[in-house]
């Protein structure tokens, strides 16, 4: 009896799973994040305050890069307009990519028999196995003026009609959606899978048509997944320059105008000026916008989750 009472309380584990070793299992992840994420990020922030003299980057703490950029944000340099273009392209891309992926995820979860679902999911994410750049070039072949689609239309005698979307932001969005869809499908499929099927039966039993069961039960319960997928798509689209360059032709047209996205503007800016401090400052601004987008997405997703309780 007394021997149990005398056991030192400090050695007592709170749960059977408790172990002083478990903290160390975080070490590889922590090291990885510090070395490959945090340090480069801090370096980027720091370089943004350097200045350039005689084509040489000189460590300093000057705000001149930022004052320069913001002085001509909407006029000569048009960084601001590119940012608006980026936000417009990213938000519309995320919107369509999320809807498309949600439809695919829904049909995998509900229309495909349970034992084929893994295979269907695998096929849906198959594009992920080929290189992104390769896929963009493939789309170029398909969409260009004398590309696959237009050639076929000419062959069948529809030479009066021609799709002319290559080097517009529509083509940029197509490339991005193709890139994003596999990831979004997985996110959304998992969130649909978490919905208890009994709830759908219960809704039907209470008088819902199939469509009402979807709008009143499945859709509200998918809201967290949709917000997560949507904000992920916005951030990836904001940061991507490849689709904008290869399919959008650098400065693709959208209803906002013939403007490059912010990310592709940074890229072309750097290759023409090689002004590293200035480019770092531009990139820092983009990161700030992404963090803002992430925060908005997080708040929306959290609100959706709390409503589910």
CA dihedral 254, 81, 289, 269 (to 10 degrees): 100
Least distance (Å) between residue 232 CB and other proteins: 22
Least distance (Å) between residue 105 CB and other proteins: 19
Question: Taking CB under 8 A as the rule, does residue 307 contact other proteins?
Answer: yes
Number of residues located near other proteins, criterion CB under 8 A = 21
Token pair, residue 188, equals 């959304």
For 175: left if phi > 0, alpha if psi spans -120 to 50, otherwise beta; the answer is: alpha
Least distance (Å) between residue 201 CB and other proteins: 6
Stretch that binds other proteins, among 79-87, 131-139, 178-186, 213-221 (CB under 8 A): 213-221
Question: Taking CB under 8 A as the rule, does residue 214 contact other proteins?
Answer: no
CB of 224 or CB of 262, closer to other proteins: 224
Q: Are 242 and 133 in contact (CB under 8 A)?
A: yes
How many Å separate Cα 279 from the centre of its chain? 22
Question: Taking CB under 8 A as the rule, does residue 221 contact other proteins?
Answer: yes
Q: Three-state DSSP class for 124?
A: helix
Least distance (Å) between residue 204 CB and other proteins: 5
Stretch that binds other proteins, among 17-25, 66-74, 112-120, 215-223 (CB under 8 A): 215-223
CB of 80 or CB of 220, closer to other proteins: 220
Q: Three-state DSSP class for 258?
A: strand
Kind and range of the H or E run holding 52: strand 51-53
CA distance 218 to 211: 10
> Rg of the chain's alpha carbons, rounded to an integer?
25
Position among 34, 133, 158, 202 found at the interface with other proteins (CB under 8 A): 202
CB of 9 or CB of 207, closer to other proteins: 207
Q: Are 185 and 125 in contact (CB under 8 A)?
A: yes
Position among 100, 186, 208, 300 found at the interface with other proteins (CB under 8 A): 208
Position among 117, 140, 149, 216 found at the interface with other proteins (CB under 8 A): 216
Question: Taking CB under 8 A as the rule, does residue 302 contact other proteins?
Answer: no
CA distance 304 to 267: 37
Question: Taking CB under 8 A as the rule, does residue 204 contact other proteins?
Answer: yes
Nearest to 105 by CA among 184, 185, 222: 185
Stretch that binds other proteins, among 76-84, 168-176, 179-187, 200-208 (CB under 8 A): 200-208
67 CB contacts (<8 Å, ≥6 apart)? none
Question: Taking CB under 8 A as the rule, does residue 201 contact other proteins?
Answer: yes
CA atoms within 13 A on the CB side of 178: 22
Position among 199, 288, 295, 296 found at the interface with other proteins (CB under 8 A): 199
Give the footprint of other proteins on this chain (CB under 8 A): 196, 198-199, 201-209, 212, 216-217, 220-221, 223, 307-309
């Amino acid at each position: 009896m007394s021997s149990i009472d005398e056991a030192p309380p400090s050695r007592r584990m709170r749960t059977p799973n408790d172990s002083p070793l478990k903290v160390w299992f975080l070490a590889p992840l922590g090291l990885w994040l510090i070395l490959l994420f945090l340090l480069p990020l801090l370096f980027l922030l720091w370089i943004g305050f350097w200045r350039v003299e005689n084509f040489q980057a000189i460590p300093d703490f000057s705000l001149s890069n930022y004052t320069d950029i913001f002085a001509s944000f909407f006029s000569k340099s048009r960084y601001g307009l590119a940012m608006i273009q980026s936000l417009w392209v990213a938000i519309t891309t995320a919107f369509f990519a999320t809807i498309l992926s949600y439809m695919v995820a829904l049909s995998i979860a509900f229309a495909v028999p349970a034992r084929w679902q893994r295979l269907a999911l695998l096929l849906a994410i198959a594009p992920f196995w080929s290189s992104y750049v390769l896929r963009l070039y493939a789309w170029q072949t398909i969409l260009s003026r004398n590309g696959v689609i237009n050639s076929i239309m000419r062959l069948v005698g529809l030479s009066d009609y021609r799709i002319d979307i290559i080097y517009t932001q529509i083509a940029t969005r197509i490339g991005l959606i193709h890139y994003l869809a596999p990831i979004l499908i997985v996110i959304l499929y998992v969130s649909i899978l978490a919905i208890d099927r009994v709830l759908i039966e219960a809704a039907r039993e209470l008088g819902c048509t199939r469509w009402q069961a979807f709008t009143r039960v499945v859709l509200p319960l998918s809201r967290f997944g949709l917000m997560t997928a949507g904000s992920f798509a916005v951030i990836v689209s904001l940061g991507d320059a490849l689709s904008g360059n290869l399919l959008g032709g650098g400065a693709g047209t959208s209803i906002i105008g013939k403007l490059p996205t912010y990310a592709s503007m940074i890229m072309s800016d750097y290759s023409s000026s090689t002004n590293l401090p200035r480019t770092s400052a531009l990139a820092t601004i983009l990161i700030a916008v992404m963090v803002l987008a992430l925060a908005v997405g997080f708040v929306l997703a959290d609100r959706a989750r709390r409503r589910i309780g």
